[in-house]
């Protein structure tokens, strides 16, 4: 399961098309609208964003930025465009 955080502020629960399996690369690209960039929030979660979001002038995402800044304090960096926060299938070190 994942949280799809749209730039509009809407947050939706989403699951991979093939339930029980991870999201495919193509699915991730569909949710964020382009090339993916992964930001590891902790050992259990990753935020997937559009790698070129700032270059493409995508709209500011206040909800995703807040989640990002909780982990990466202090920072002035921000998230643009839609984001997907996914639970990892296996823990990372």
Per-residue model confidence (pLDDT) at position 92: 59
In-domain check, residue 30: yes
In-domain check, residue 72: yes
Q: What is the CA radius of gyration of the chain?
A: 13
Over residues 38-62, the pLDDT tens digits come to 999 999 999 999 999 999 999 999 9
- Asked if the model's pLDDT at residue 93 lies above 60, the reply is no
What value does the mean pLDDT of the chain take? 94
Per-residue model confidence (pLDDT) at position 88: 87
| Residues facing residue 86 across a β-bridge | 2, 46
Range of the domain at 29: 2-87
In-domain check, residue 12: yes
The rounded distance, in Å, linking the Cα atoms of 18 and 13 is: 15
Task: Give the chain's domain count.
Answer: 1
The rounded distance, in Å, linking the Cα atoms of 39 and 41 is: 6
SS3 (DSSP) at 46? strand
Contact status, residue 83 vs residue 64, Cβ threshold 8 Å: yes
The rounded distance, in Å, linking the Cα atoms of 30 and 93 is: 28
In-domain check, residue 46: yes
In-domain check, residue 92: no
Whether omega for the bond prior to residue 74 falls within 30 degrees of 0, making it cis, is: yes
In-domain check, residue 55: yes
Per-residue model confidence (pLDDT) at position 90: 67
In-domain check, residue 93: no
pTM equals 0.91
């Amino acid at each position: 399961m994942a949280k799809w955080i749209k730039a509009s502020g809407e947050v939706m629960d989403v699951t991979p098309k093939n339930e029980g399996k991870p999201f495919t690369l193509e699915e991730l690209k569909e949710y964020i609208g382009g090339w993916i960039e992964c930001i590891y929030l902790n050992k259990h979660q990753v935020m997937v964003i559009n790698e070129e979001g700032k270059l493409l002038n995508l709209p500011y995402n206040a909800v995703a930025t807040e989640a990002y800044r909780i982990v990466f304090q202090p920072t002035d960096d921000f998230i643009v465009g839609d984001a997907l926060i996914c639970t990892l299938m296996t823990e990372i070190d």
